[in-house]
A and B are shown apart, each in its own frame.
Chain A
């Protein structure tokens, strides 16, 4: 999916969604969700090539595999949470959006705990 296709799809979807602003509002939201997902598929295909390069670089330099995997997981969690919360905000329910964002933040926090422990253990090893 090239940039031009994504831009054209977004503009067409926005205009079509405007059409339903009057009486059938929910179809406008369905169209924007569908267009968001079409562009999201394009983003994921681009992202997969970037992630392959990142994994390759990670294998070159002396970095522990699990830290890189955790970083990628955090990226995935934030992206999914952002996508879902913005869709909820589009549909008008703010509480759901905030709930999903909070869940995403906590999920990232949980993921980073082992790294924090490893850091503190290293610092402790230095001090004692």
Chain B
């Protein structure tokens, strides 16, 4: 999960930028914005529990 997270985020980023370009050129501005928003939310869904795990481990390690 750990290293593949980086490549998953990169894949979502490439996909979203291509999709928003296509939608922009075909005149649908809102869909382009919505897709980039969806990409952002997807990345956040992956990253936030990961951040929580990290700080939880840190807390247990240093008995903070």
Q: Which residues of A contact B (CB under 8 A)?
A: 5, 9, 12-13, 16, 19-20, 23-24, 26-28, 30-31, 33-35, 37-38, 40-41, 44, 47-48, 51, 69, 72-73, 75-77, 79-80
Contact = CB atoms under 8 A, between A and B. Distances in A.
B64 A77 contact: yes
Contacts of A72: 62-63
Main DSSP-derived SS at the B contact region: helix
CB-based closest 9 A-B pairs: A76-B62, A27-B13, A16-B10, A24-B17, A38-B2, A34-B6, A34-B5, A72-B62, A76-B64
B61 A47 contact: yes
A34 B40 CA distance: 14
Contacts of B34: none
Given A26-B40, A35-B6, A73-B63, A80 B58 contact: yes
